[in-house]
Amino acid sequence: MAFGLSLSVAPTSGVPIYRQIVEQVRAQIVGGRMSAGEMLPSVRAVADQLQINPMTVSKAYSLLEREGVVELERGNGMRILSPGAAGNGRAREQAIMPLLRDVAAKAEQLALSPEQVLERLRPLLKEVGDE
């Protein structure tokens, strides 16, 4: 993407798209990829980039605002608020929990053992870390 926020959505994941956006924005803030004071890209820019309805992005941004992650700065857009202690390891671990729950549920549906899931996850983590 042309802006600092890197998002992707999976319409068939079973997780609502607005929720995917919220979780990814939180994760990027907690992970230090975006910091307090930075502006989120406009609703229109995100919607165009992801090829989704602008109302979906607006819903995600509104939820983030209600949760105190961002604030609306009239005329400028959404500014990321200071995460306080969000930079600590516990907050990062909590940010990944929704995705891990999804993986665990899918593994259960597919009758995969924890060992089988971990065996497939380790190379993916290494691959992403090498990028």
Rounded percentage of the chain residues whose pLDDT exceeds 90: 49
Q: Which CATH number belongs to the domain containing residue 39 in this structure?
A: 1.10.10.10
Name the pLDDT band for 2 (thresholds 50, 70, 90). very low
Please report whether residue 1 resides in a domain: no
3 part of a folded domain: no
pLDDT in tens, 71-82: 999 888 999 988
Is the pLDDT at 131 greater than 70, yes or no?
A: no
Residue 16's Cβ-count burial label (10 Å; 0-12, 13-18, 19+) is middle
User: Would 35 be classed as within a structural domain?
Assistant: yes
Q: What does residue 84 show for φ and ψ, rounded to 5 degrees?
A: 60, -115
Q: Is 9 within a domain?
A: no
Q: Report if residue 8 sits inside a domain.
A: no
The total number of structural domains that make up the chain = 1
Whether 83 contacts 92, CB under 8 Å: no
When pLDDT is cut at 50, 70 and 90, the band that residue 119 belongs to is: very high
In a domain, 45, yes or no: yes
Residue 1, pLDDT score: 39
Model pTM score: 0.65
Residue 116 pairs in a beta bridge with: none
For residue 37, being part of any structural domain is answered with: yes
Task: Name which of 75-79, 86-90, 100-104 the model is least confident about.
Answer: 86-90
What's the domain range around 100? 17-129
Nearest CA-CA partner of 48 in 78, 4, 7: 7
